Structure formats: structure tokens, C-alpha cells
């Protein structure tokens, strides 16, 4: 049966899907900007083809088909978006120089407001679980070929049948299953953490509050104590990454422009379902300006991973100002299930 088309019919059927389709495209591309552009392209293609839509599948499945094809076309011939830890080089010397590589198209974090920012009673808010947007998982996906990415996301995140994925990608079911197994092995190798190890609740709030206080007091020793002994610190667009709480402490002492308590202000936000902070650095005129965005992974043993993004254009995406005053710092830890 062909669906009669008009603006209201189209909008009522597809508009509720916009947020989850944006997340789907983000998983595929690793960029919120690109994801939003590709969702626009998805809706344009859907509008053009809606007159021929037949109820052989749900509208949601049909839209995901279009979005996946749009993403695969966009990824054709493109380099993946990496994080420094994914480039294959060993951890760096914290006393060495920093290699600045802005020409690399780095992975971007996604604001939680993009993923779950709808009305509290929006049923679409329950569609995206936090594990499927964790930064480490998104980074691992970037190591897969575009078809492998699509297969793993459609099968393991969206629970499509292998036959449905095979039809979409013009592959055999056996080929889909084989590709899925290879993709799972690769992703587990790059993202081995178990979600059961995640820290939440009051302990997480206390750890985050202590972490903020340590930075705002420029207490490097306390920062080191709050990090897991095997913590990892990476900071695109700088090429190096650092392993171990002591090494990270040396890195901060050697390269951080802060000198004393009050030089840094941390403002809470959240990214990829994880706690995050905009860090503002004191300037010669006394103002605190956007400096870096930190996304944290918390474990029972402490802060186990810090992804530090020096692209300050991300601040606007997270609704963070360019400049803050001293009384705008983090008073309480942000809510997060990380």
C-alpha cells in the first residue's frame, strides 16, 4: 500500500526519529557536525522517496536504511577519525615536546544534550543507551571499515536481523555474520572495558568533586592520587598519549600553563554519557578563557581515562561560554551514569 504524502503526515512519522538518527550517524562518522548534516540529507532523501514507501517495514527501519546509506556514501574514500591512542604509537614521554597536529581529522565528543536532550517524557530518549555512545566505543568503531561499522551498529546496537542487514548492504547473510565476528573481535581489542566496572552514584560524585578541587587548586599531587595507577591521558590535536598516573602528573607539571590555585576553573557538562568539564585558563587580563574540554571515564580504582580536547570550538556545541568568572566554576559534580 502506498502512503499518501503531505507535510504533516511526513513530519509526524519521521520527526520523532531525528535525535536517534543523529546518534546513529555520529556512531558512523565520529563527528556531531557531520552527523547533523547527514541527518538533513537523510530527511531530504526520505521526503523525495516517501511517495513510494510501502509498509513492508516500519518507518523507523526505513529511515535507518536511508541514514546508513547516506553515511556509507559520505565515508567513501575518507580517512577515519582517530584518537591519539588509536594511532599505533607507544605512550609518550611526559617531559618531551608536544607534537601539534591540527590537520588530522580527530574524533569529536557528542554532548549528552544531543543524545538525550528531548522532553523528559520523550520515548525516543530511551532508545539510545549509554554504552552505545561511550567515547571509547565510538573510537573503536573508527578502526572498522565503513561496512563493518554499519554491520556492527545495526546488529549489536540496533538489534537488526542478519538478513535485514544483508539486504541493506547487498551482501549474503553468511558474509554479514563473518564480518560481524571480525568487527566484534577488533572492537573488543580496542575497547575491552566492562561496563560493570563503571563507577556511579555517590562515589562518582565524590570523585568528581575531588577531581575538580584538585585542578582548581592546581594540586598536581592530588590529581595523581585521584587517577587510576594505569590511567590514560590523551589530548587531540596533540599526537602523544600518556599512560600511568605518575607520567600524567609530570605532563601536567611540565606543560600546563597554570601556576597556582585559581588559575583554572572547571565547569561541568557531560559528553558521550560520561562526566565532562570545560576547563578555563586564567589570562593575563585576569579573565578565564576556554582552554580544553575533558571527558572522563570513572572506575572504582579512580579516573581511568581522560580525553582532553583542545578544540575550543566544541565549547559552543556544549553550551559552554568562551569566558567565565571565578564564581561560575564547578560547585557540584555533574550528574552522570558513567
Instruction: Sketch the domain layout of the chain as residue ranges.
Output: 7-190, 199-328
Kindly give, in sequence order, each residue whose CB lies less than 8 Å from that of residue 94, ignoring residues fewer than 6 positions away: 242, 247, 248, 250, 251, 254, 255
CA-CA distance, 66 to 87, in Å (whole number)?
31
Q: Residue 2: what pLDDT?
A: 47
Q: Residue 1: what pLDDT?
A: 43
- Decide if 254 contacts 94 (C-beta within 8 A): yes
Q: Residue 55: what pLDDT?
A: 60
H-helix or E-strand spanning residue 304:
strand 302-309
Q: For residue 72, which of 100, 42, 44, 109 has the smallest C-alpha distance?
A: 42
Q: For residue 122, which of 20, 11, 9, 7 has the smallest C-alpha distance?
A: 20
* CATH class name, domain 199-328: alpha beta
Is 250 in a helix, a strand, or coil?
Answer: helix
Q: For residue 279, which of 258, 299, 260 has the smallest C-alpha distance?
A: 258
Q: Residue 63: what pLDDT?
A: 92
- Decide if 148 contacts 182 (C-beta within 8 A): yes
Is 300 in a helix, a strand, or coil?
Answer: coil
Q: For residue 108, which of 209, 23, 3, 31 has the smallest C-alpha distance?
A: 31
Mean pLDDT by 10 residues, the chain (338 residues): 60 86 97 96 88 72 95 94 95 96 96 81 61 95 97 96 96 98 96 71 94 98 98 98 98 96 97 97 95 96 97 96 76 41
By residue count, the chain amounts to: 338
Q: Residue 69: what pLDDT?
A: 97
Q: Residue 66: what pLDDT?
A: 95
**CATH number for the domain whose boundaries are 7-190:** 1.20.140.160
Which pTM does this prediction carry?
0.90
Q: Residue 335: what pLDDT?
A: 41
Q: Which three cell numbers stand for residue 318?
A: 556544549
Q: Residue 328: what pLDDT?
A: 58
- Quick check: do 7-190 and 199-328 share a fold? no
Amino acid at each position: 500500500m502506498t502512503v499518501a504524502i503531505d507535510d504533516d503526515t511526513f513530519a509526524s512519522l519521521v520527526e520523532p526519529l531525528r535525535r536517534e538518527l543523529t546518534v546513529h550517524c555520529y556512531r558512523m562518522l565520529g563527528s556531531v557536525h557531520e552527523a547533523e548534516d547527514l541527518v538533513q540529507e537523510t530527511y531530504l532523501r526520505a521526503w523525495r522517496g516517501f511517495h513510494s514507501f510501502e509498509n513492508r517495514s516500519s518507518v523507523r527501519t526505513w529511515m535507518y536504511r536511508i541514514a546508513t546509506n547516506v553515511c556509507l556514501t559520505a565515508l567513501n574514500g575518507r580517512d577515519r577519525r582517530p584518537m591519539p591512542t588509536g594511532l599505533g604509537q607507544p605512550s609518550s614521554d611526559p617531559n618531551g615536546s608536544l607534537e601539534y597536529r591540527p590537520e588530522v581529522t580527530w574524533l569529536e565528543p557528542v554532548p549528552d544534550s544531543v543524545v538525550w536532550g528531548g522532553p523528559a517524557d520523550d520515548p525516543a530518549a530511551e532508545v539510545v543507551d549509554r554504552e552505545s555512545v561511550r567515547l571509547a566505543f565510538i573510537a573503536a568503531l573508527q578502526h572498522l571499515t565503513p561496512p563493518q561499522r554499519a554491520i556492527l551498529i545495526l546488529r549489536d546496537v540496533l538489534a537488526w536481523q542478519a538478513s535485514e542487514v544483508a539486504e541493506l548492504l547487498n551482501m549474503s547473510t553468511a558474509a554479514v555474520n563473518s564480518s560481524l565476528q571480525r568487527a566484534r573481535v577488533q572492537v573488543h581489542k580496542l575497547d575491552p572495558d566492562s561496563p560493570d566496572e563503571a563507577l556511579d552514584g555517590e562515589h562518582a560524585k565524590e570523585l568528581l568533586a575531588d577531581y575538580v578541587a584538585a585542578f582548581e587548586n592546581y594540586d598536581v599531587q592530588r590529581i595523581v592520587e585521584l587517577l587510576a595507577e594505569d590511567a590514560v591521558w590523551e589530548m587531540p590535536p596533540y599526537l602523544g598519549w600518556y599512560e600511568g598516573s605518575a607520567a600524567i602528573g609530570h605532563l601536567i607539571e611540565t606543560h600546563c600553563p597554570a601556576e597556582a590555585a585559581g588559575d583554572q576553573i572547571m565547569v561541568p557538562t557531560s559528553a558521550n554519557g560520561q562526566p565532562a568539564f570545560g576547563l578555563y585558563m586564567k589570562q593575563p587580563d585576569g579573565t578565564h578563557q576556554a582552554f580544553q574540554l575533558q571527558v572522563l571515564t570513572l572506575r572504582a580504582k579512580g579516573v581511568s581515562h581522560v580525553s582532553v580536547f583542545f578544540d575550543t570550538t566544541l565549547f559552543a556545541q556544549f553550551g559552554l561560554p568562551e569566558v567565565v568568572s571565578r564564581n561560575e566554576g564547578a560547585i557540584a559534580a555533574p550528574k552522570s551514569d558513567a
